Amino acid sequence: MSLKKNILVSVVGPTAVGKTALAIEIARYFNTEIVSADSRQFYREMNIGTAKPDQAELDQVKHHFIDSHSIKDHYSVGMYEKEALALLDELFEHHDVVVLVGGSGLFFKAIWEGFDEMPEVDLVLRAALNRWFEEEGLAPMLEELKEKDPEYFSLVDRQNYQRVIRALEVIRSSGESFTSFRKGKAPNSRNFENLKIGLNLERDVLFDRINRRMDLMIDAGLFEEAEELLPYKDHNALQTVGYTEIFSYLEGKYDREEAVRLLKRNSRRYAKRQLTWFRKDEEIKWYQPNESERIIRLIADCLNA
């Protein structure tokens, strides 16, 4: 008797490329469920700015890790790894295929292979780095990160000060690059096969979709949502594109027109960083969003192989 084959279909790619629609089509075809790997869609207070599946989409297929946490909760990628792997064990008891979808590279890595152990960090050093950030901002910290770990610098969300500070903590504590710890050990074993599907579009088309998505979000009340979240702006979940620009506008640092310009520019830059991250993975098979039939055939062939 052959062992049951479990296939995790991971749908990755830049923001606004069409990952949600493809994931739903795959899940409906294989009568399965979707697990989100989007680090912003976990939070129930963040709706418009995270491009969550709408209610009609949620009604089509059961989704997990959507609105599962509050921005007030401490939630890390390590915690996600444990919870999501436990969920996948349950789902694979009833399904041969499960769909993992999102744009957060670190969260995919957590599911695909896990993370290395990081060195202990001196709390005095952590406090010193936080003071440095408060006094001088991110620019000098990014310069140090670029000098000491150019590989991680090319991947990190450069507006997320917690991630920048975390990398510098490790670098200064150990004398080694942050990247060296992230690659230090063999991947953890998993009880499923990975089938990695990447979606992409021509750059001009993708950037136009990003710009139009931002216009739709603004029309839907993105500025008003951000204003309600302003008291929580220092929480980790809100240190992200789509909110930080509006927080600065609300604090009088620039006008609304400039905020809109920055929202679109930074969203385009975020998409480029996402592509940089995923293109390093040679296992990802790349498609256009309109090639869903080819993708479904590929999944079926893997199941029957």
* Mean pLDDT computed over 30-41: 96
* Residue 194 sits in the same domain as residue 178: no
Residue 1 lies in a domain: no
* Residue 170 sits in the same domain as residue 192: no
Domain boundary among the residues 182, 208, 228 is at 182
* Residue 34 sits in the same domain as residue 142: no
Domain total in the chain: 2
Tell me the CA distances in angstroms from 132 to 125, 138, 139, 240, one per residue in order.
10, 9, 11, 20
Q: Is 115 exposed, middle or buried (0-12, 13-18, 19+ CB in 10 A)?
A: middle
* Residue 169 sits in the same domain as residue 92: no
The band of 1, judged by pLDDT with boundaries at 50, 70 and 90, is very low
* Residue 101 sits in the same domain as residue 231: yes
CA proximity to 229, closest of 51, 16, 43: 43
- Domain hosting 144: range is 123-182
Residue 2 lies in a domain: no
* Residue 85 sits in the same domain as residue 14: yes
Residue 192 lies in a domain: yes
Q: CATH number for the domain including 248?
A: 3.40.50.300
- The number of CA neighbours under 13 Å toward the Cβ of 135 is 6
Tokens in use for 231?
């008291």
Task: Choose the most confident range, by mean pLDDT, from 238-242, 260-264, 270-274.
Answer: 260-264
Whole-model pTM: value is 0.81
* Residue 28 sits in the same domain as residue 60: yes
- Range of lowest pLDDT (62-76, 100-114, 125-139): 125-139
* Residue 159 sits in the same domain as residue 254: no
pLDDT confidence of residue 7: 97
The band of 159, judged by pLDDT with boundaries at 50, 70 and 90, is confident
| CA-based torsion, 136, 142, 145, 147: positive or negative | negative
Backbone angle region of 6, left / alpha / beta, with phi > 0 → left and psi within -120 to 50 → alpha: beta
* Residue 28 sits in the same domain as residue 105: yes
Give the Cα separation of 28 and 208 in Å (integer): 29
pLDDT confidence of residue 181: 78
- Which are the contacts of 51, defined by CB distance < 8 A and separation ≥ 6? 15, 16, 20, 41, 213, 217
Task: Check: CB of residue 275 under 8 Å from CB of residue 14.
Answer: yes
Domain boundary among the residues 182, 203, 226 is at 182
Residue 140 lies in a domain: yes
